[in-house]
Amino acid sequence: MKKPYHLLIVDDDPDVLTSARLLLKQHYQNVETTEEPSDLNRILSRKEIDLVLLDMNFRKGRNDGAEGLYWLKHIRDLSPTTQVVLMTAYGEVELAVKAIKDGAFDFVLKPWTNEKLLATIDNALQLAREKQKVAQLQDTNKQWENQAALREDDLISRSPAMQEVLDTLRKVAQTDANILLLGENGTGKSALALSIHRMSKRQGDSFITVDLGAIAPTLFESELFGHKKGAFTDAAEDKAGRFELAHEGSLFLDEIGNLDLSLQSKLLHALQSQEIRRVGDNQNRKVDVRLICATNSPLHEWVDENKFRQDLLYRINTVEVTVPPLRERVEDIPLLARKFFERYRKKYQKENLQLSLSAIDALCEYHWPGNVRELEHSLERAVILSNQNEVKPEDLQLKGGQSNKPAGLNLEEMEKHLVLQALDKHRGNISKAAKDLGLTRAALYRRMEKYEL
């Protein structure tokens, strides 16, 4: 099978171009040639070139390699990710060594041996891929590592129901089985997804997350599969999609229940074939990802109602785990409360502040429609607003036991109260809560984000 790379050969000798092209096109999907180095501007501005095989001299009678050095710098400036391998005569080796210091990967002597040329190009492409993966890892993991809600030490439990969930995930994490996490909003599905990745054999590679509830249908293919420069109006440059970024790592599709029915077939095809095609591209790219999905939507009911594809559900739920709501794991509330309290006591420099036993009792009696996320926000708010040395039940603002009912007629507090009531009534089901409130799902999500629910 040909490797999915795009190579460009630049040499003023037609015989060299022909022999190199015939050899390389047996091994790589796209091989172009040109006799004019000035064509580099046009080609590199329009296409993503993985590697340029560049001659060091173009004008007759010139053998000082100055042209090769000039065009090497030009390539590095125009397309920094493109690897350059130089072709040089025996007497120009010193110049070739200087070129390596200037950014070339390596050089091959003319006339080359096929094995040497292929090995050098393969090594250059492998190095480029490793550098790209390191950069992607740094960019994509930073946001997750910095979010307090996703710290692994929050995954603590004394609850038998939650212990069963964690035991299951520890077993399946070591495999490549696709996992579907079900449960209400705020139960910690995102944290569990990250924990699965960290316990897996892919832990050294990318963990890429996609919030499908936040992606417009028109941008779905571009976000997940990437696009080529010029594929549409705003496509100013080539862009790798989330599948490519997650290659050999884990891909977390959050809120998969929000995926439009018309787009589910595209996702299914990518998962079945393990191939994607960038928007505007004409070649498929192989991808190897471990899929983790999460939703609070009743997918099995939606299959019966033709709102969700059955074949997609079977593809994503090799192992299906339901994360229990916080009200069903009351044993965990004191553990989590103290963990969050310690975090925010340090963050806001209130080292002398204590969490009273009566406050913990109040936390255990509350119904928690917003689950762990709401618990965390409640502790943070209590730490911020406390003017004493101890957080007491009244500081938590958990009035009425079942919901934080506003005392006055503040419009925002009333709206927050109604949202909490609807979520509580429908046990965190966003679709039903939104319908009860007369809102769209997107509008309800905006209000939940506004009030940090």
Same domain for 208 and 353: no
Q: Which long-range contacts (CB under 8 A, 24 or more apart) does 128-131 make?
A: 128/50, 128/51, 128/81, 128/83
The pLDDT tens digits of the residues spanning 107-154 come to: 888 888 899 999 999 988 887 776 666 655 555 554 444 443 334 444
CATH number at residue 334: 1.10.8.60
Q: Which residue has the tokens 């549409």?
A: 232
Of 324, 354, 387, which residue is a domain's last?
324
Of 324, 342, 374, which residue is a domain's last?
324
Tell me, rounded to whole angstroms, the distance of Cα 235 from its chain centroid. 20
Same domain for 188 and 319: yes
Same domain for 180 and 123: no
Average pLDDT, integer, range 280-298: 92
| Residues paired with 359 in a beta bridge | none
Q: Which residue has the tokens 């936040």?
A: 214
Same domain for 297 and 347: no
Closest to 376 in 3D by CA, of 332, 412, 407: 332
Same domain for 359 and 291: no
| Residues paired with 239 in a beta bridge | 227
Cα 446 to Cα 434: distance, rounded to the nearest angstrom: 11
* Start-to-end C-alpha separation, the chain: 50
Same domain for 319 and 338: no
Cα 71 to Cα 104: distance, rounded to the nearest angstrom: 11
Q: Which of 240-254, 352-366, 368-382, 413-427 has the lowest mean pLDDT?
A: 413-427
The pLDDT tens digits of the residues spanning 38-83 come to: 899 888 888 888 999 998 887 665 666 778 888 988 898 888 888 9
Domain extent at residue 419: 402-453
The pLDDT tens digits of the residues spanning 206-243 come to: 899 999 988 888 889 999 999 888 888 777 777 888 99
DSSP secondary structure string for all residues of 50-89: SEEEEES--STT--S-HHHHHHHHHHHHH-TT-EEEEEE-
- Contact, 276 vs 241, CB < 8 A? yes
Residue 92 is predicted with a pLDDT of 64
pLDDT at residue 355 greater than cutoff 90: yes
Residue 349 is predicted with a pLDDT of 92
Closest to 355 in 3D by CA, of 333, 329, 325, 323: 333
Same domain for 43 and 61: yes
For CA atoms 232, 234, 239, 240, the dihedral sign is negative
Tell me, rounded to whole angstroms, the distance of Cα 81 from its chain centroid. 21
Tell me, rounded to whole angstroms, the distance of Cα 376 from its chain centroid. 24
Does 162 map to a domain? no
| C-alpha count within 13 angstroms, C-beta hemisphere, residue 144 | 20
Does 160 map to a domain? no
Does 309 map to a domain? yes
Residue 427 is predicted with a pLDDT of 64
- Look over the chain and give the mean of its residue pLDDT values, rounded to a whole number: 85
| C-alpha count within 13 angstroms, C-beta hemisphere, residue 131 | 12
Q: How confident is the model at residue 441 (pLDDT cuts 50, 70, 90)?
A: confident
Does 348 map to a domain? yes
- Contact, 51 vs 8, CB < 8 A? yes
| 3-class secondary-structure state, position 39 | helix
Residue 137 is predicted with a pLDDT of 55
CATH number at residue 429: 1.10.10.60
Residue 111 is predicted with a pLDDT of 85
Of 302, 324, 346, which residue is a domain's last?
324
Same domain for 280 and 193: yes
pLDDT at residue 10 greater than cutoff 70: yes
Same domain for 129 and 176: no
pLDDT at residue 330 greater than cutoff 60: yes
| 3-class secondary-structure state, position 52 | strand
Number of domains in the chain: 4
Residue 98 is predicted with a pLDDT of 79
Residue 146 is predicted with a pLDDT of 41
Global pTM exceeds 0.85: no
CATH number at residue 300: 3.40.50.300
Percent of the chain with pLDDT over 90: 45
Same domain for 291 and 217: yes
Same domain for 418 and 342: no
Residue 1 is predicted with a pLDDT of 77
| 3-class secondary-structure state, position 295 | strand
Does 263 map to a domain? yes
Does 54 map to a domain? yes
Does 198 map to a domain? yes
Same domain for 334 and 417: no
Q: Which residue has the higher pLDDT, 18 or 2?
A: 18
Residue 380 is predicted with a pLDDT of 93
Does 138 map to a domain? no
Residue 134 is predicted with a pLDDT of 60
Q: How confident is the model at residue 447 (pLDDT cuts 50, 70, 90)?
A: confident
Residue 404 is predicted with a pLDDT of 40
